[in-house]
Amino acid sequence: MATIQELRSNLAAAVKKARASNLPEDHAAAKAAGLAVAAAISAGAKPCPKCEAAPHGMVQQVSVGRDILEAFDVGCLACHNHCARGFTPELAVDAWNRGVDAYADEAAFDDKGSLVIVPAGWRKPR
């Protein structure tokens, strides 16, 4: 099975190809590559507790102090502003499955919606 990093590389290549060619089949391939990334991030996540929809995985850029870091969100596309966030896909899925709601957890975000708490043991990627 491809890693999330490999799937993201596939996505970047597919998007580049679709933009260059503008062919419907290349756009469809890019969309499929994006869905593969989303599915890999949210692998193992339980259905939405509010609406039972399968959650969607996303990569986000978040500011922590002066750093812009990469984080992963697992959330429901049907329920507005319902997601859990982690600094790895596994942490995001675990938080989601534990019922964490990032938007309801005031301690995790500042008033601009930026994550301000970094989990213990997490290190900035190089």
* Interaction site with Zn ion (CB under 5 A): 48, 50-51, 53, 76, 78-79
CB of residue 47 to Zn ion, shortest distance in Å: 8
- Residue (of 86, 81, 64, 77) closest to 4 by Cα position: 86
- Cβ atoms of 108 and 81 within 8 Å: the answer is no
Residue 69 corresponds to which tokens in the numbers above?
């870091």
CB of residue 123 to Zn ion, shortest distance in Å: 32
Give all strands of the β-sheet with 83-86 in edge-to-edge order: 56-64, 67-75, 83-86
CB of residue 67 to Zn ion, shortest distance in Å: 31
Name which of 35 and 54 has its Cβ closer to Zn ion.
54
Name which of 8 and 85 has its Cβ closer to Zn ion.
85
CB of residue 82 to Zn ion, shortest distance in Å: 6
Name which of 4 and 54 has its Cβ closer to Zn ion.
54
Name which of 16 and 50 has its Cβ closer to Zn ion.
50
